[in-house]
Amino acid sequence: MKANKIIAGAALVGAIALTATGCAGGGGAAAGGGGGGSDVITVGFAQTGSESGWRSANTESMKEAFSEANGFNLIFNAADNKPEAQIAAVRSFINQGVDAIVLAPIVTDGWDDVLKEAKDANIPVILEDRTVSASEDLYASWVGLDFKKEGETAGKWVADNFGSTPTNMVVLEGTTGSSAATDRAEGFNSAISGTDIKVLDSQTGNFTRAEGKTVMEGFLQKYGSQINLLFAHNDDMGLGALEAIKAAGLTPGTDIKIVTIDAVKDGMTALSKGEFNYIVECNPLLGEKAAEIVKKVVAGESVDKSYIVEDQAFDQEQAAKVLDSRPY
């Protein structure tokens, strides 16, 4: 699932630059150009978009951490899950001379050129959430989750509960070429290897509820009651599939077992009701750690190459206990 290297057009660069400037948070501080003389740190944050409840929680976490009160001037851009727009946003940050760039890459590949441009401009890049295939010397650090472990945890639960019984499964994949989708699939598949679980079909739902519903409708039309189990790479696709399952006259969580990853409020609510059967957490609250890394890098301090935030996992009973106290 490798994506081709993407080259953004000059017109798009200009459009993104205007958009990014218009979304600046913080207050009136000029961009510093790699550390400048100001105490305020100007940061360009290139987000993937707003495709899911997880992404919305992640964006809010980042905006709160990179606030004016915390010493930042944030220039925010969400690329609507268009890799070429996200690359253009990063280039606009470079042109504006920000002190640092935080990037949540939509896809893994295609980042070499623009990351080299940032390095040549002495602007450090910190990856957030997802990873890239580019050389590690092109970015300062990464903070996120262990996607492969998330997939393994989900797959182990499935293997333990269904692995010794012939089970037909369909899969809703995340965005093709994203590290989250690739790694979760790898971890899950390794965990169910050698079991009696058969994958009937696997298609991308792009991490969105709408596409999850559409793809699940297609699965139901094609396979009907043959489907025993659904694995969705995130809650939102699982929630879309849940709607399709109900519309088909089936009971989610009973007729078709549902396993997802994220543990956002809507997903945990479905789990507590028994409509989902198991959720592996993917903690979206990465802002505080990302801001800490940025401050250290801009100050010339050394940082680790990667920081992994720990996840949990929940069944129905566990979800019901923690649902009201969840911050997202």
Residue 119 and residue 162 in one domain:
no
Residue 207 and residue 161 in one domain:
yes
Give the pLDDT confidence score for residue 327 in this predicted structure.
87
User: For the segment 76-108, what is each residue's pLDDT rounded down to a tens digit?
Assistant: 999 999 999 999 999 999 999 999 999 999 999
% of the chain residues with pLDDT over 70: 88
Distances (CA, A) of 110 to 51, 89, 132: 21, 14, 8
Distance (Å, whole) CA 53 – CA 264: 7
On the question of pLDDT at 14 being above 50, the answer is no
Residue 78 and residue 163 in one domain:
no
Residue indicated by tokens 């600046």: 24
Residue 64 and residue 157 in one domain:
no
Residue 16 and residue 139 in one domain:
yes
DSSP 8-state assignment for residue 106: S
User: For the segment 136-158, what is each residue's pLDDT rounded down to a tens digit?
Assistant: 999 999 999 999 999 999 999 99
H helices of the chain, in order, are 10-22, 53-65, 83-96, 112-120, 147-162, 179-192, 209-223, 235-247, 265-272, 287-298, 316-322
On the question of pLDDT at 240 being above 60, the answer is yes
- Does any domain span residue 322? no
Q: What is the pTM of this model?
A: 0.85
Distance (Å, whole) CA 48 – CA 141: 18
Residue 26 and residue 37 in one domain:
yes
Residue 32 and residue 63 in one domain:
yes
- Does any domain span residue 75? yes
Sorted by sequence, the CB contacts under 8 Å of residue 110 that are 6+ apart come out as 3, 4, 5, 6, 83, 87
Per the structure, the count of domains in the chain is 2
User: For the segment 318-327, what is each residue's pLDDT rounded down to a tens digit?
Assistant: 999 999 998 8
Q: Give the number of other CB atoms < 10 A from CB of residue 302.
A: 8
On the question of pLDDT at 123 being above 90, the answer is yes
Indicate the average pLDDT of the chain. Answer: 90
Structure confidence at residue 38 as a pLDDT band (50, 70, 90): low
Residue 80 and residue 200 in one domain:
no
Query: Domain holding 56: CATH number?
Result: 3.40.50.2300
DSSP string, 132-182: -SS-GGGSSEEEE--HHHHHHHHHHHHHHHHTTS-EEEEEEE-STT-HHHH
Residue 152 and residue 71 in one domain:
no
SS3 266: helix
Residue 174 and residue 187 in one domain:
yes
Assigned token pair, 253? 């969580």
Q: Are 235 and 262 in contact (CB under 8 A)?
A: yes
**Residue range 43-67: mean pLDDT, rounded:** 97
Domain range holding 173?
147-282
